[in-house]
Structures are given as C-alpha cells and as structure tokens.
C-alpha cells in the first residue's frame, strides 16, 4: 500500500504543477480551484504517506539526531511537508482572491508555485512507477 500511495503522490505532483502554472497564467476561480483542490489532495496523500513511511517513522524515533544531520531524513521530516502546507495556504488564499476578482490572486498562486518548486524532492526519481 505504501508503494502505491508513493506512486500516486508522485503522479499527482505533476497535476499540481500543471494546474499551478494554469492558475498563475489565468488567475480565475476555475484554474485556482483546480490548483487548490488538487494540492489539497496532494497534501492529504503526503500526510497518509508520512504515517506509513518507514523513513519518516524511523526519523521521528530519532528526531534529535535527524535534525542535527542534513540529509534525506531531515528533508522529509522538517522541510518537505512544511513547504507543502505553506503552499496549500497560499493556494487557498489565491483562490479566495480569485473568487473576489482581485489581482492579488496571481501573486499568491505564484508564491504557492515557487514554494512547491522548492519543496519537491528533485533528487528523487521524477517518475515512480
């Protein structure tokens, strides 16, 4: 089940980026809603993966040591999920602005996309099947 969710999380990443670019280029309610909601799905998948991941669970058990040592475990325990949650808040803020027809939506979608790009583990395989 863990591997299947990891593959799904990986594939949804590309949808998030695609809808994020669309929301950035056309910051309206429809592109914004698709971006925010597919990102919500991505974050939920990530939270479920965190509970199932042996890497994450092992890192939590030795949290003090993990936080002192830069590497993959620290990245997933401290940085990856924080970036995802921050981007989720920015995307939903952008959606609220887009529904009101305010130009701030583009900025919020752009910031969400930037945070996502910085939070993606590019050192992992781009496609996991």
Q: Could you tell me the residue ranges of all domains in the chain?
A: 2-53+82-119
Residue indicated by tokens 């698709």: 34
Q: Work out the pLDDT band at 12, boundaries 50, 70, 90.
A: very high
Among candidate residues 59, 45, 57, the one with its CA nearest the CA of residue 7:
45
Dihedral sign of CA atoms 89, 17, 49, 56 in order: negative
CA distance 8 to 5: 5
DSSP per residue over 29-97, as a string? HHHHHHHHHHHHHHHHHHHHHHHH-HHHHHHHHTHHHHHHS-SHHHIIIIIIHHHHHHHHHHHHHHHHH
Identify the pLDDT of residue 72: 75
CA distance 106 to 41: 21
Helix, strand or coil, per DSSP, at residue 119: helix
Is residue 62 over pLDDT 70?
A: no
Instruction: Give the rounded percent of residues in the chain with a pLDDT score beyond 70.
Output: 90
Evaluate whether 115 touches 87 at the Cβ level (below 8 Å). Answer: yes
At 28-37, the pLDDT tens digits run: 999 999 999 9
Identify the pLDDT of residue 75: 77
Q: Work out the pLDDT band at 48, boundaries 50, 70, 90.
A: very high
Q: What is the mean pLDDT of residues 44-67?
A: 78
Q: Work out the pLDDT band at 66, boundaries 50, 70, 90.
A: low
At 98-115, the pLDDT tens digits run: 999 999 999 999 999 999
């Amino acid at each position: 089940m863990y591997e299947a969710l990891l593959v799904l999380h990986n594939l949804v990443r590309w949808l998030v980026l695609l809808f994020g670019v669309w929301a950035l280029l056309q910051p309206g309610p429809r592109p914004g809603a698709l971006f925010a909601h597919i990102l919500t799905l991505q974050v939920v998948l990530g939270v479920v993966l965190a509970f199932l991941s042996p890497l994450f669970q092992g890192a939590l058990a030795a949290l003090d040591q993990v936080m002192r040592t830069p590497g993959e475990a620290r990245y997933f325990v401290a940085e990856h999920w924080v970036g995802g949650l921050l981007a989720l808040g920015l995307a939903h803020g952008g959606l609220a602005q887009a529904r009101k027809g305010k130009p701030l939506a583009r900025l919020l979608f752009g910031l969400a996309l930037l945070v996502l790009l910085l939070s993606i583990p590019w050192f992992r395989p781009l496609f996991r099947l």
